[in-house]
Amino acid sequence: MKTADIVSAVVMLVLSGVVFATTRDLPYWADFAPGSAFAPFWVAATGAVLSIALFVGALRRQTNPPVDWPDRTGLQRVILTAAGLWAVIVLAPIIGLMATALLFMLFLLIFVERRRLVPSLFTTALTMALVYGVFSAWLGIAFPKGVLGI
């Protein structure tokens, strides 16, 4: 587990550095709203801090427990989540970001996490309303629309 944590931490730190390096020329703030470098900066900064914490924790750990790999159900969830993320990449340019996010959230709650339908619908509706309210209505940021115009 110690080796897996160290390797994971190094990979995360390198990826955070790549995000920093590739987005440094983008504007951090644009007029009255966050610019295109705002989110990547904070995601990369958070990733860097977490990877350093994981690295230091792994080095300080005295014991070396075995890696706790997911069981069959856990592996199915990992595969379904990865497939859902690929579907987001494919669907977002076609049906738009908000519609894709809505479908992805429902997919995760209902099919991956096996949650009940009504609470999943309520949670998804509330989350989408908050995201739309904050970013579109309050900050005036337009979400990417797909070819269908959604």
What pLDDT digit, counting tens, does each position of 38-64 carry?
A: 999 999 999 999 999 999 999 998 888
Can you tell me the distance from the alpha carbon of 14 to that of 21, in angstroms, rounded to the nearest whole number? 10
Q: Answer with the one of 15, 30, 60 that is the final residue of a domain.
A: 60
- Domain presence at residue 123: yes
- Domain presence at residue 147: no
Q: pLDDT averaged over the chain?
A: 92
- Domain presence at residue 144: no
Helix axis angle for 2-23 and 38-60, nearest 10°, is: 160
Q: Is the pTM of this model over 0.85?
A: no
Same domain, 46 and 103: no
Q: Answer with the one of 60, 90, 105 that is the final residue of a domain.
A: 60
Same domain, 22 and 51: yes
Q: Answer with the one of 60, 91, 109 that is the final residue of a domain.
A: 60
What total number of domains does the chain contain?
2
- Domain presence at residue 31: yes
Same domain, 14 and 45: yes
Q: Residue 86 belongs to what domain range?
A: 72-138
- Domain presence at residue 143: no
Kindly tell me if the per-residue pLDDT of 98 is higher than 90. yes
Same domain, 55 and 80: no
Can you tell me the distance from the alpha carbon of 106 to that of 37, in angstroms, rounded to the nearest whole number? 29
Q: Which tens digits make up the pLDDT trace of 60-93?
A: 988 887 878 889 999 999 999 999 999 999 999 9
Same domain, 76 and 129: yes
Distances (CA, A) of 19 to 49, 69, 105: 14, 28, 25
Same domain, 85 and 47: no
Nearest Cα to Cα of residue 147 among 90, 84, 107: 90
**Partners of residue 70 on adjacent β-strands:** none
- Domain presence at residue 97: yes
- Domain presence at residue 150: no
Same domain, 52 and 15: yes
